[in-house]
Amino acid sequence: MRKHRQAAVAFVAAFISATPSAFAHGDTKHAPAAAACNTTALACASIATGTFDPDGKLWVTWNAGGRISVASSTDLGKTFSDPVTLPKTELPLDEGPDARPKIAVGQGGRVIVTYASRDEKYNGHAFIARSSDGGKTFSAPQPITSASPSQRFETAALDPDGRAFVAWIDKRNAASAKKSGKPYAGAALAFAWDDKPGGTLQPATIAKDNTCECCRIALAFAGSGRPAILFRNIFDGGIRDHAVITFEDDKTPGSVYRLSDDDAKIDACPHHGPSLAIGRDGVYHATWFAIGRKLKGLYYAHSEDGGKTFSSPMRLGSPNTQTSRPYVLAAHGLVYLAYKSFDGSMTTVDLMTSRDQGKTWSAPRSIAMTHDASDHPLLIASPAGAYLSWQTLQEGYRVVPLEPQS
Amino acid sequence: MRLASLTLALIVIASPVVTSAASAEAARPFEVSTLNEIRQAHKGRPLIVHFWGLTCSICMSELKDWGAFTRAHPEATIVFINWDQRGARPEQIGPTLQKAGLAAVPSFALGSGFEEKLRFSVSPEWMGELPYTHLITDDGTASAFSGPANFEDMSSWLAKTGPAWK
């Protein structure tokens, strides 16, 4: 049968002038450079997440060879400690376009790592692993919640007091609505705190029902015990625009404020989540991918009133360069914005900087490039500087110092 | 039955794209040149290219409707391109399409290729959102929409797009 089919391909190809190479492939597998790379080494990762600890040491967690690993570096990624590889999850790791392991490192050698696996129906199962000895050993990973059929896009951070906060997209209310035959749009935004710094996660709370189920969420702190979450909400009429919730205190999610009127009346999965930073001055900086009837593309806006109202959206990138994956960082009195551009053959990371809390911005400048697949560009701050953290297929993991532009 | 075999014969002569029609086989790799090649191979006939993902719940919930639409419109060539990125389970593509009554559609997959470049070859304006559909008329005019398909609209689009190939 197969032979017969291949013969048919050859026969037909002879009659088609535009001989399609894709059709001549037969059963040969696409073999990118990374296909042979199946160890747990950082070089084999398609996704890597970096962060700095309070002493300026770089930490990276990555997904490679079906496992999550963690290592640290005292020389900005030139050399790494021996990686610690976390136990294999029962189900395959979630490697969707907006999924990534997260890491936060606090005082006294405390490290938390979160990540998710997923089942055949693409329900997520998220875990948290902890170290209290500077990442030498990790406790057995714990599910971030129970009684939930799916948790995805888990995001973990330590608040200024060192208490762990985890937020994620949860499907428990969607599942129970379905069971009782009630309609339920999207999923829910859920969170859990550690009971104390270095403690264990408390039971989950739903902060907001009916949020978009397919985008990562962004997290920053407005103060101790006061996380601010930027996420794709589902507004009345099924409009999937971004919104910000700032906690009034650790137990009380505040009101939902709309970031921008993109008018995203679209039941599609953009797999393209936002990014949020809050400066020491309290100014919120948000960047996101818009797919609305009013706005399309990458945008930035800031808020000077604690995330209630935002400035007019500023468009990022030039048209037809397929700009994507925006990220914002507020550090050392500056605001940095980065995103990817693709010109048909090369991906670049473009950087813009602001010296006045996001009111005016430098022209974009390319600070890194690659000619093959790449992870999202992330911006991270050490106690002294600011850096791009970027994993690319060809070059591996790199950390690039950000030089502010005037 | 007779119609089916006639159709199959015509398809085999007309286009190599459809040679995997007999059963749900592994999706072929989607390359930078693939979309152009599909268009070349189907010049002069309406063509619908549908990008979908196993990880896209909206795509999954309309898959059966695509199966029904495909059966109702043998005059249109419909190609499915799986755009799951890292973490996709390519072995599920064939069985999933088969279950939705789409075993006969030519099937390609992004796999672990250079996503930006491959997406650029589809459209510089496409940001990768799914589902996403290209409609190409018999004179080669292409349009695209994101989100679930309106099958009535697509039927009237097919009816309008020049002399349908029958």
Tally of domains in chain B: 1
Q: Tell me the HSE value of A305 on the side-chain side, using a 13 A CA sphere.
A: 6
DSSP B61-73: HTHHHHHHHHHH-
Q: Is the pLDDT score of B162 beyond 90? A: no
The complex's ipTM works out to 0.75
pTM, full prediction: 0.85
Give the pLDDT means over successive 10-residue stretches in chain A (406 positions).
39 33 34 63 95 97 96 97 97 88 95 94 92 95 94 94 96 96 95 93 97 91 97 94 97 97 84 94 97 92 98 90 94 97 94 97 96 96 97 96 80
Cβ B105 vs Cβ B78: under 8 Å: yes
Domain membership of residue B154 (yes or no) is: yes
Residue B65 lies in domain? 23-160
Domain membership of residue B55 (yes or no) is: yes
Domain membership of residue B98 (yes or no) is: yes
Domain membership of residue B18 (yes or no) is: no
Phi first, then psi: give them for residue B31, nearest 5 degrees: -110, 170
A-chain residues near B125 (CB < 8 A): 320, 322
Residue B53, chain A, CB below 8 Å: the answer is yes
Cβ pairs A/B, distance under 8 A:
157
Buried b (16+ CB within 10 A) or exposed e, A308-338: eebbebbebbeeebbbbbbbbbbbeebbbbb
User: B17 vs A268: CB contact, 8 Å cut-off?
Assistant: no
Average pLDDT in the B32-44 region? 91
CATH of A47-211, one of 2.60.40.420, 2.120.10.10, 3.40.50.1100, 2.40.100.10: 2.120.10.10
CA distances from B53 to A268, A352, B14, B93, B109 (A): 11, 33, 28, 9, 9
Residue B1, chain A, CB below 8 Å: the answer is no
Question: What letter represents residue A339's amino acid?
Answer: Y
Residue B131, chain A, CB below 8 Å: the answer is yes
A-chain residues near B129 (CB < 8 A): 266, 268-272, 291
Q: How far is B50 from chain A (nearest CA, A)?
A: 13
CATH number of the domain within which B126 lies: 3.40.30.10
Return the pLDDT at B87: 59
User: A270 vs B31: CB contact, 8 Å cut-off?
Assistant: no
Q: How far is A25 from chain B (nearest CA, A)?
A: 8
203-262 in chain A: CB under 8 A from chain B: 213-214
Q: Is A142 left (phi over 0), alpha (psi -120 to 50) or beta?
A: beta
Q: How far is B112 from chain A (nearest CA, A)?
A: 7
Return the pLDDT at A294: 93
Among candidates A150, A136, A20, A160, which has minimal Cα distance to B33?
Answer: A20
User: A340 vs B116: CB contact, 8 Å cut-off?
Assistant: yes
Domain membership of residue B16 (yes or no) is: no
Q: How far is A112 from chain B (nearest CA, A)?
A: 24
Domain membership of residue B166 (yes or no) is: no
For tokens 């997260």, name the residue. Answer: A102
Cβ A317 vs Cβ A340: under 8 Å: no
Q: Residue A112, Cβ neighbours under 10 Å: how many?
A: 23
For tokens 């406790």, name the residue. Answer: A139
A-chain residues near B29 (CB < 8 A): 22, 25, 29-30
